[in-house]
Amino acid sequence: MAVDLTPDGATLELAERVRAFIRDEVVPAELRMAASGSGPSDDLRRSLQKGAAAVGLLSPTGPERFGGLGLSTIAQSVILREAGYSLLGPLALNCAAPDEGNMHLMHKVATPEQQEKYLAPLVRGAVRSCFAMTEPSPGAGSDPSMLRTSARWDGAAWVIDGTKWYITGADGAAWTICMARNPEHEGQAAGATMFLVDADNPGMRVTRHIGSLDIGFVGGHCEVVFDECRVPPEAVLGEVGRGFTYAQVRLAPARLTHCMRWLGLAERSQDMALDRASERDAFGSKLADLGMIQQMLANNEIDLAASRSLITHAAWVLDQGERGSAETSIAKTFVAEAVGRVVDRAVQIHGALGISHDLPLSLYLREVRPFRVYDGASEVHRMSLARRAVRRRSAAREAR
């Protein structure tokens, strides 16, 4: 069966509108932010999202029912890449992490009442959210089975206790999805459960901002403490004990949208490198005429093309209703490393200018490096892929 992955006319038209908005409205704001040395604020988020809403570009991944554009994953691979051409683009279009992943999860799992209360304002850009799963050692990190935060039913409410760590966007978020381990409950086996916790709950508090290499997320990366945090039964997201299953509902698409956004920033970096190489004279010629520079530019083109292909294929798999665990894992591992290589080469081609604050490239370099850790470290994805490959080969041998 032939598969045509060419974007349709509506997607291409939307991409042109996004490209113009990013160029005219978002890139200037990004350059001002980079010059200030600070990260984005909630005021900046609201201003940019107001502009995106005015031209019909807000929440491309959000469900149409609540005002989003409801794009397919294939269409998202085009639009989010265009948004990612600026570090602030995904924030401006309301398709940045962690809100974008939470929109997807809430759309798939939440009750209609939960969607009205939490998802609808998130899609409109009226609030921010966060996702609280990672914990300080020896708690959950790359291995979610090490989850230590607990939730117990006291007969009237669920009581959550534990500490979460490196929770992106927690400061100023209106609510969080908290993952906690629960004992056996009403005949259901012990497991993990997701809870919707409002920011004004007295049992939840943000205790500190964690200094980080990257500064591109509103609300920072925070430590969040749950201390006798009581939530009603209707705060359970989905079903009790199915938290790990729901985490996969969120993580596979979310890791792919991360790839889309960062690919846009890598393409911006390559454009800057191409401009520099074409304009800069050194050693009696243009940089673009020097073999070593040509090799770096060519390697960037290869990394970008391979990244686009892996993202598009994984997006198509998800649009077929499949889990896409292997495909998104492959894409995430390759793209995270390829983006880092592209930005690093762009910095090198610019020389001292690349590492200065006169250009945003040094900011990009800091921002993309953590992507090899976020959404599963590259090593964890490789371990999972290797195990799948061994199982697949063993099954093939046994079938002969």
What does the pLDDT profile of the chain (400 residues) look like in tens digits?
Answer: 567 788 999 999 999 999 999 999 999 999 999 988 899 999 999 999 999 999 999 999 999 999 999 999 999 999 999 999 999 999 999 999 999 999 999 999 999 999 999 999 999 999 999 999 999 999 999 899 999 999 999 999 999 999 999 999 999 999 999 999 999 887 777 899 999 999 999 999 999 999 999 999 999 999 999 999 999 999 999 999 999 999 999 989 999 999 999 999 999 999 999 999 999 999 999 999 999 999 999 999 999 999 999 999 999 999 999 999 999 999 999 999 999 999 999 999 999 999 999 999 999 999 999 999 999 999 999 999 999 999 999 999 999 8
Backbone angles phi, psi at 385, to 5 degrees: -65, -40
Question: Which residues fall within 8 angstroms of residue 387, CB to CB, at 6 or more apart?
Answer: none
What pLDDT is recorded for position 125?
98
Using CA atoms, how far apart are residues 247 and 236, in angstroms rounded to an integer?
14
What pLDDT is recorded for position 2?
65
What pLDDT is recorded for position 329?
97
- Single out the residue of 18, 196, 27 nearest to residue 94, CA to CA: 18
Helix (H) / strand (E) element for 123: namely: helix 120-124
Q: What is the pLDDT of residues 55-69, one digit of tens each?
A: 999 999 999 999 999
Using CA atoms, how far apart are residues 230 and 180, in angstroms rounded to an integer?
13
The first and second tokens of residue 394, run together, are: 């063993």
Q: Checking DSSP bridges between strand 129-132 and strand 175-182, what pairing results, if any? A: parallel
The first and second tokens of residue 14, run together, are: 């939307």
- Fold category of 129-241 in CATH: Butyryl-CoA Dehydrogenase, subunit A; domain 2 (2.40.110)
Distance of CA 101 to the CA centre of its chain: 7
What pLDDT is recorded for position 1?
58
- Single out the residue of 320, 334, 180 nearest to residue 255, CA to CA: 334
Q: CATH 1.20.140.10: does it fit domain 245-399?
A: yes
For 63-118, the DSSP string reads: -GGGT-----HHHHHHHHHHHTTSTTHHHHTT--TTHHHHHHHHHHHS-HHHIIII
What pLDDT is recorded for position 185?
82
For tokens 């006291």, name the residue. Answer: 154
What pLDDT is recorded for position 400?
85
Class of domain 9-124 as given by CATH: mainly alpha
Q: Please report how many Cα atoms fall inside a 13 Å half-sphere around the Cα of residue 176, on the Cβ side.
A: 32
What pLDDT is recorded for position 37?
87
Is the separation of the CB atoms in 346 and 354 below 8 Å? Answer: yes
What pLDDT is recorded for position 186?
79
Looking at residue 209, the DSSP 8-state letter turns out to be E
Looking at residue 235, the DSSP 8-state letter turns out to be G
Backbone angles phi, psi at 351, to 5 degrees: 65, -140
Using CA atoms, how far apart are residues 180 and 231, in angstroms rounded to an integer?
12
Q: What SS3 class is residue 48? A: helix
Q: What is the pLDDT of residues 313-331, one digit of tens each?
A: 999 999 999 999 999 999 9
- Single out the residue of 73, 79, 177 nearest to residue 122, CA to CA: 177
Is the separation of the CB atoms in 93 and 58 below 8 Å? Answer: yes
Where are the chain's structural domains? 9-124, 129-241, 245-399
Helix (H) / strand (E) element for 86: namely: none
Question: Which residues fall within 8 angstroms of residue 174, CB to CB, at 6 or more apart?
Answer: 121, 127, 128, 129, 198, 199
What pLDDT is recorded for position 188?
77
- Single out the residue of 191, 204, 294 nearest to residue 247, CA to CA: 191
Using CA atoms, how far apart are residues 374 and 32, in angstroms rounded to an integer?
27
The first and second tokens of residue 276, run together, are: 């520099």
What pLDDT is recorded for position 360?
95
Residue 138 burial (CB count, 10 A): 8
What pLDDT is recorded for position 187?
75
For tokens 């609300």, name the residue. Answer: 219
Question: Which residues fall within 8 angstroms of residue 274, CB to CB, at 6 or more apart?
Answer: 288, 297
What pLDDT is recorded for position 146?
96
Looking at residue 30, the DSSP 8-state letter turns out to be H
Question: Which residues fall within 8 angstroms of residue 135, CB to CB, at 6 or more apart?
Answer: 141, 146, 147, 148, 149, 162, 163, 164, 165
Distance of CA 291 to the CA centre of its chain: 36
Looking at residue 24, the DSSP 8-state letter turns out to be I
Backbone angles phi, psi at 359, to 5 degrees: -125, 160
Q: What SS3 class is residue 374? A: coil
Using CA atoms, how far apart are residues 208 and 17, in angstroms rounded to an integer?
39
